[in-house]
Structure 1
Amino acid sequence: MQMDKMFGMDRYDRTARLNPALLTLLPALLFVFVWFPAVWTQLGAIAAFVVTCGVLFALTRLARKSGQNVERKMGSRVGRLHTASLLSLSDDRLPKNMKTRCRSYIEKHSKIVLPSLFDENQDPKNAQDDRLLAVRWLLEHTRPQSEASLLLNENIAYGFARNLLGLKPLGIAITTTVALGSAYFLYDLEIGSTAFVLGALLCGAAFIGLLMWVFLVTKSWVEHASQVYAEKILSLCLEH
């Protein structure tokens, strides 16, 4: 039985939710491995038990919840709300021809009447709700072909970025603690010893990880992933 099926996780759960959580916790696990090898051995003995107690599932829920908080705070800049905004006649981020074809396809096949520019100006909230309904219909309507169209790949890429951003505070806290803790333990070790080399590598890796959390895991990264995902969703209208 495949691991993703065994633990009730599909490809999205495994890549977009579990992987960000594991990446966040990895420095802490390496810290235990380097500085507390006896504890690490004991951890290895109980790993199977811990997994069966639902820790993997809990990690995916943690990443999912963190990602949802990010999406809620960023509003229409990411996610389905962002995709819906691209269908607005007052938004110029999509080529005009592409937007016209997308709107025509949705109105023809879903029977949803998308708001005109006048409607958008008169009632922006209701107009956004109508566009969001259209996006939800499009996602459901194209679900069978999402794998073949690579839509799932872009959804996973966006989910991974969003969830990793949600875990950023925890990631910064862990890498900072690991870097400082390793530096503290290195102080009393003989330079050149195996323990010193491993500790120095861990300290350096944790510092690099901290820089990556600060400068690479950003809102702009998530926004870019959301834009690519949104364009992929809407491009499905052009394939018919």
Structure 2
Amino acid sequence: MTTIFELIKDPYERKARIVPGLLVALPILVPLLCVYGAKHPVLTGVAGLLGGCGAIYALASVARGRGKKIEEILVAKWGGMPTTVVLRHRDKFLDSVSKQRYHTAITTKLGIAMPTAEEESANPDKADDIYVGATRRLRELTRSNKQLLLKENIAYGFHRNMLAMKSVGILSCILGILYGLLIAKVLQVAPPHFDPLHFADPGLAAGLSLIVSLALLAAWLLYFDQDAVRRMGFAYAERLFECLPSLPSSVPRKRAPKPTAD
């Protein structure tokens, strides 16, 4: 239970990992609870017990695991993490003025010498290694930032995990729609029958099931894609490097030479 409370308390865990898992289960949970919850309180109790015993943690773990797996595919497609890509001289996402300003700030604030365009061109892997190291150090120094940077990080993690759960989410929505049609009596299995007239008064449980499932299905199909994750990733990279001016300089100042006695 302590682990569950820690998950829910942490804003990143709650919004970027737990929410995608719950949204996958929602099209199934809504009709089950609406149809059977009032008649069978035991079902509601079992659902609460499962949540308390680890179902929430399991959903968060699945979303995180699938998210990390799809992130590897996306990073290979992008040519690197957004935080690495934007620091490259050859990349055009940032304007040259901002890029040079960030390079200078990394050298000044973090004490990490950044490669020149010629050095990057001669040895791209070494340059990327420096960019990754500088980014990792910057993240360590900005972990206390609970404002916009954290929000951008949560947005990236949420979109990445939603993309990772997309196929499961679509399947869940389809099952929710079918179940909604069945309890609305629009569909009938035995004998097979389709009666669209029941759409006029599907009932509360069927109506909620269809609305939730259709809305989530539209979101899965129309919004959560690789481009959305890329946008969130590069937005986070921009916010991260915008934190550089607020950091204290880590480069020691040179002491003035002591005056020598005449």
TM bucket (normalised to shorter chain) is 0.7 to 0.9
Match of 2:251 in 1: none
Question: Amino acid of the residue matched to residue 121 of structure 1?
Answer: S
Residue 30 of structure 2 contacts residue 208 of structure 2 at CA under 8 Å; is this kept in 1? no
Equivalent residues in 2 for 1:180-199, closer than 5 Å: 180-185=178-183, 186-187=185-186, 188=188, 191=198, 196-199=203-206
Match of 1:129 in 2: 129
Match of 2:219 in 1: 212
Between structure 1 and structure 2, the one with the greater Rg is: 2
Match of 1:174 in 2: 172
Unmatched segments (≥5 aa) in structure 1: none
- Whichever structure has more helix as a proportion of its residues is 1
1:228 maps onto 2:235 in alignment: yes
Residue 31 of structure 2 contacts residue 208 of structure 2 at CA under 8 Å; is this kept in 1? no
Distance 1:221 1:4 in 2: 34
Equivalent residues in 2 for 1:1-240, closer than 5 Å: 7-9=5-7, 10-37=10-37, 41-75=41-75, 81-144=81-144, 146-148=145-147, 150-185=148-183, 186-187=185-186, 188=188, 191=198, 196-240=203-247
Q: What SS does structure 1 have at the residue aligned with 2:81?
A: helix
Distance 2:232 2:114 in 1: 25
Deviations 1:60-119 (Å, cap 9, x if unpaired)? 111111211121110166798211110111111112222112111112233322222222
- Among all aligned residue pairs of Structure 1 and Structure 2, give the percentage whose two residues are the same amino acid: 29
Q: CA RMSD in A?
A: 2.8
Residue 4 of structure 2 contacts residue 54 of structure 2 at CA under 8 Å; is this kept in 1? no
Distance 2:94 2:67 in 1: 26
Change (3 A) 1:45 1:143: closer
TM-score (norm 2): 0.79
Distance 1:220 1:183 in 2: 33
- Number of residue pairs aligned between Structure 1 and Structure 2: 236
Question: Amino acid of the residue matched to residue 171 of structure 1?
Answer: G
Distance 1:58 1:6 in 2: 10
Distance 2:85 2:173 in 1: 37
